[in-house]
Amino acid sequence: ANRLFRKIKREPAMALPHLYGLFQEDADAYDVLSHVAICADPRNTAVAQLAANLHTLGTSEQPGDQIRATNNLQSLLHEHSDWRWSTNMSNIFHNLNTVLNAWTLDDILKIERPADLTTASLPQSVIVSVQFLNRIITELHKVERVEDLRTKMIFLENTLKAIHDAQHMMIDQKEEMCAVAPPPEQLALSTTLTHWQNIIVELIQRMKGRAFISCTLKNENMPVSAQVPLVYEIANDGLNVAQHVRLRVQEGEGYHLAENGYTDVLIDILPPGEKQEVSTTIVPTNGERRLRVVWDITYDDAIDDARLLEFADVLEFTDPNKPFERIFPIPYVTGTPLKSDDVFVGREDVFAFIRENLLGTHQNNAVILHGQRRTGKTSVLYRLGRVMTETHIAVLIDMQGKPARGEAEFLYSIADDIVFSLEEHDIFVEMPEREAFDDAPEFFFRNRFLRGLQKELGDKNLLLLFDEFEELQQRVESGRLSPEIFTFLRNLMQHEDKVDFVFSGTHKLEQLGAEYWSVLFNIAVYKPITFLGNNEIRRLILEPVADKSIEYDPLAIKRISHVAAGHPYFTQLILHEMIVYYNETERTYITVTDVDKVLERIVERGEAHFKYIWAESSNEEQLVLRGLTELLVGAEAVNVKDLQKFLADRGYKWDEAWDEALLSVQSRDIITSRTAKSPLYRFKVDLIRLWIDHTRPAL
């Protein structure tokens, strides 16, 4: 050790090559390193630190020690750029530190490919290690660039092979490179490769473990006969074998099961990617030209036993009762509020609440409607004008479209909205000049303009409908409006008997934060805008197309209700795409299989609202949603403890931030539980789960 230290003292720039030379010359290299650290300190603290950290990196099996050592070595070499190899080795220790910190698949995928080393003077073990890391990271990045499961599997298998090759390289390194002691980076690299291997193996097992069964009725059109053979095609589109696949026809209206008619069919094994046709026989009983046939399939795979799927389709003996008729224009609306009554259903509870508060015995002339984005709040405001037409003249005030150059401009634009709405009711009043608002905008708007309308209003009230009311806060905080606007609006609510107010937004009062909201809204009543109920969903599916040739199977209606959960936007989106599908395929009877095909289209296309929900979620919230998505495969709901363990196994320690994330996604109606105290969670809108499953990588 003393001899080596003296050698380094004579050639300080050669400290790294001299220390690395130990590993090819001395089997006790790490003992020598520890003595070099002692000899050098305090005479040469840099060499002492270099030797000590190389010793720690090459001997400690604790990831924390390895991370600290690589961090120290990187900093030390950066400070001593005059040392030979310092730049290349500093980059190598930086990359090794990043690799050691990658304990989840997400972390690994964020690692950039290390630069290739071109200098031949570095130790061969270092050059080869970087080459293997490059190969592993390159293969993993390919997984992110494809969506097909089988192609992902190919790249994951390639990654696993690259890891195995790197592990064999380290085993053979001593013989191939004539090293008598393992280089210091080898132990840390071995620890990392073992952990990465476990992550990849688990991911492959989960992807391989699922079979995906679909089934279609092949002979939908048949001549009438005493016994009708039905031919089904059962396909396994998953990555694992399906076993004990059993198709069973259920008794239904208009037919019964034929004796000895093979109504129960078993396929022992259905490998992935394969299809098989099976037959059953039914006996028609009522002479109808159309029969709805119902059947189910149970099967086992590596994840679930006795998984149950329900199917139904229509068998037509002659021409359909309703010939195909193209539906155009499509009645369903996506992305914009509903301005007509054609596809507006439900919300009677909301309208009754507003009537009760504006007209009841204990009147309150300010109502706040709050709900998540795209849950139909603006559509309710449009509809409210017609619901309240006997007692009110409604004025929609779109806060996002309002000028914001001070109170005068703001109140003048509201006056313009009022005049326009009055004209729609054949009440014509003169619009004030813009300059009239300049000196005292609040006084003129209230005392001159509003009170000047009382004669024209007669026995009706003005109903001011403020959409996106949170915009007021943003304008006040940016200095475009004075905070006194809140006091002015409160004064109107309290003292103007001919004016009522409805505010619509996405937040509850306690979520808004600013004190001036309490000034305005502590005299208001609240009504949440939630999802549509089952009866309302059914009406929305059937009523707009009641006079058309399209017909929905009950299972298809059930599937739409489940996957959209009554979310107004997603329900309208699915139904709009169902009509597009109907026009394309000319299928007049829509089954659950047809619905699933449309859902695949929506998920693959990636609607903007999915991306909005994802972008609005914190990193912890996204991980909670991804964890739930994986755990809900084959499950109805997920226990919080199972979610905690699932994330912990992937390097995420559960703390208060995760509890807050869980509560946040629940408050945003993304997930739900059966009761307030239930530990079991599922997605409220299953379509969001389908999108996450299709677009986000596995943890």
| DSSP symbols for 98-155 | HHHT--SHHHHHHPPPPPPP--SSS-HHHHHHHHHHHHHHHHHHHHHT---HHHHHHH
Q: Is the pLDDT of residue 678 over 80?
A: no
Least confident of 122-131, 158-167, 331-340, 353-362: 331-340
**What is the share, in percent, of the chain residues with pLDDT greater than 70?**
90
Query: What pLDDT does 116 receive?
Result: 64
Output phi, psi for 296, to 5 deg. Answer: -135, 160
Q: What strands lie across the sheet with 242-249, from one edge to the other?
A: 264-270, 242-249, 290-300, 307-316
Q: Is the pLDDT of residue 416 over 70?
A: yes
Q: Who contacts 456 (Cβ-Cβ below 8 Å, separation ≥6)?
A: 422, 427, 429
236-264 pLDDT, tens digit each: 988 888 999 999 999 888 898 876 545 68
Q: Is the pLDDT of residue 102 over 70?
A: yes
Domain boundaries, given as residue ranges, for the chain = 2-208, 213-316, 348-528, 534-605, 608-695
Greatest mean pLDDT range, 82-86, 334-338, 369-373: 82-86
Calpha distance 621→661 (Å, rounded): 5
Radius of gyration (Cα) for the chain, nearest Å? Answer: 35
Query: What pLDDT does 143 receive?
Result: 82
Q: Which CATH number fits domain 534-605: 1.10.287, 2.40.160, 1.10.8, 1.10.260?
A: 1.10.8
Please state the rounded mean pLDDT for residues 321-342.
76
540-597 pLDDT, tens digit each: 999 999 989 998 988 889 899 999 999 988 998 999 999 999 999 888 888 887 898 9
Residue 86 banded pLDDT, cuts 50, 70, 90: confident
Least confident of 244-248, 339-343, 443-447: 339-343
425-444 pLDDT, tens digit each: 999 999 999 999 998 999 99
b vs e for 578-616, b when ≥16 Cβ sit within 10 Å of the residue's Cβ? bbebbbeeebbbbbbbbbeebbeebbeeebebbeebbee
Closest CA to 129 of 180, 91, 76: 91
Query: What pLDDT does 472 receive?
Result: 81
Q: Judge contact between 455 and 385, C-beta under 8 A.
A: no
Residue 235 banded pLDDT, cuts 50, 70, 90: very high
Mean pLDDT (the chain, rounded): 84
H/E element holding 638? strand 638-639
Closest CA to 90 of 58, 61, 63, 115: 115
Please state the rounded mean pLDDT for residues 383-398.
88
Q: Is the pLDDT of residue 376 over 80?
A: no
Query: What pLDDT does 519 receive?
Result: 61
Query: What pLDDT does 518 receive?
Result: 66
CATH 3.40.50.300 fits 348-528, yes or no: yes
Q: Is the pLDDT of residue 510 over 60?
A: no
Q: Is the pLDDT of residue 288 over 70?
A: yes
H/E element holding 217? strand 213-217
Q: Judge contact between 155 and 171, C-beta under 8 A.
A: no
Amino acid letter, residue 658: W
Calpha distance 254→386 (Å, rounded): 45
**What is the share, in percent, of the chain residues with pLDDT greater than 90?**
26
Q: Is 565 left (phi over 0), alpha (psi -120 to 50) or beta?
A: left
Q: Which CATH number fits domain 608-695: 3.30.1330.50, 1.10.10.10, 1.10.1740.10, 1.10.3080.10?
A: 1.10.10.10
H/E element holding 311? strand 307-316
Q: Which CATH number fits domain 213-316: 2.60.40.10, 3.10.450.40, 2.60.120.260, 2.60.120.10?
A: 2.60.40.10
Q: Is the pLDDT of residue 332 over 70?
A: yes
Please state the rounded mean pLDDT for residues 18-45.
79
Query: What pLDDT does 442 receive?
Result: 94
Q: Judge contact between 470 and 512, C-beta under 8 A.
A: yes
Q: Is the pLDDT of residue 2 over 80?
A: no
CB atoms within 10 A of CB 155: 18
Query: What pLDDT does 16 receive?
Result: 85
Closest CA to 126 of 78, 148, 93: 93
Calpha distance 514→522 (Å, rounded): 13
> Which residue is associated with the tokens 């004025």?
395
